[in-house]
Amino acid sequence: MALEGRDLVSIFDLSDREIEAVFSLADEMSQHTRGRLHVANGRIMSTLFYEPSTRTRLSFEAAMLRLGGDVLSVADMGATSVAKGETIADTVRIVESYADVIVIRHPLEGSALVAADYASIPVINAGDGPHEHPTQTLLDLYTIRREKGKLRDVSVALVGDLRHGRTVHSLAFGLARFGAKVTCVGPPGLEMPPHLLARLEKEFGCVPAQFHSLSDIVTNAEMVKRRPGRQRALAAEVVSLFDAIYVTRVQKERFDSTQAYDAARNSYAITEELIKRALPDTLIMHPLPRVDELAYDVDRDPRAAYFRQAAYGVPVRMALVSMLLGLRSTKVGRARKGEYRPKSRHEVDFRKYADLLCPNARCVTNHESYLSPRFNFTDYAPGMVACAYCDHEVAAPKGMTSG
């Protein structure tokens, strides 16, 4: 299926072949990250950022300008009619008449899906609360593929605030889909949410090993299982097992209290000392911004890939925008057997269950009153249904059927 006219709300909106097609075009776009191509002449991108951003917003805008298009943006969404109470639905229905593509970042989970439902032009999710950040996943996967030459069997540690970090939520699935080995290293209280682990296992057969710290000790048996051929040490630190270590900051803005944040910050840090014990070619990645969890000393190590990673954001977003706007007809290979393809979900006939609410206080359905909650049956949580907006689960009422 061509990408023209489509939305990118979740990493599940793209098939594996479509992601590979974005990467091939990004390879080509890497040659054009200076100067201007004139393929997007006359096209306008509107960036609606209701949350702070440096890299995502500027690299989207740089991508559109490098393609030859223009950008329509507001410095502060709080200075728009949002301050008067305008909803997401109304805002995007206005903006669609001014622009050809919308890039949205919003603190509520499911907000990008609302924008996509109401706008008739392509909508790209640049982060919806702690839920998803699919374009960051594209550039993260692209970084590993470019620097390691492949994704299959690459062993990746996701380290840090795995509970609230939207980048790692989308990335875990991206890695699993391309056959990488995923390990979760989350300090107590910041572990990967159980519903994501259940889905990784049921839909992709991926069962991440879990540790609380990169300094945990693994036994020889575990080590051989994770990195066959590396049998030298009888026991080793977890840090010695990975081809890539992907670090994230503690997501301060997602905590309910400053006390809870203070207890979590400083619970982990990547230092020069620690990475001395990593492999000589381990990539150190980070979506940035960093706070206290990644020492500046690490920057001078050639394994530090995070600034290169941020730079790949431009060609990857140039490729994505070109494809969604139909500026380039790109060949998407045929799906291989068993690989992920976007599926239609078995949606519950929610009209019959109007009193069923999403249990997630940060779900957009609990904030924008014109929305009706919607739920899907899933393959990974028997007896439960998942919110179509934020994926949080709720027990299916007795007799509930798909609509």
Give me the residues that bind ligand NCD (CB under 6 A), please. 55-56, 127, 133, 136, 166-167, 248-249, 251, 287-288
Of residues 317 and 328, the one with the C-beta less far from ligand NCD: 317
Closest to 103 measured CA to CA, from 166, 57, 69, 139:
57
**φ and ψ of 121, to 5 deg:** -105, 165
Of residues 159 and 327, the one with the C-beta less far from ligand NCD: 159
Distance CA 252, CA 290 (A): 12
Residue 136 CB, nearest approach to ligand NCD (Å)? 5
Of residues 159 and 279, the one with the C-beta less far from ligand NCD: 159
Amino acid, single-letter form, for residue 252:
K
Residue 54 CB, nearest approach to ligand NCD (Å)? 8
Closest to 304 measured CA to CA, from 315, 318, 316, 288:
288
Of residues 251 and 322, the one with the C-beta less far from ligand NCD: 251
The torsion defined by the Cα of 9, 12, 18 and 20, in degrees rounded to 10, comes to: 110
By DSSP bridging, strand 70-73 and strand 44-49 are parallel
Would you list the DSSP string of 46-98? EEEESS--SHHHHHHHHHHHHTT-EEEE-S-GGGSGGGGT--HHHHHHHHTTT
Of residues 43 and 164, the one with the C-beta less far from ligand NCD: 164
Element (H, E) at 157: strand 155-159
Residue 253 CB, nearest approach to ligand NCD (Å)? 9
Of residues 184 and 223, the one with the C-beta less far from ligand NCD: 184
Residue 296 CB, nearest approach to ligand NCD (Å)? 17
Task: Please enumerate in sequence order all residues whose Cβ is within 8 A of that of 78, keeping only pairs 6 or more positions apart, or say none.
Answer: none
Query: Reduced to 3 states, what is the DSSP secondary structure of residue 317?
Result: helix
Residue 57 CB, nearest approach to ligand NCD (Å)? 9
Residue 145 CB, nearest approach to ligand NCD (Å)? 18
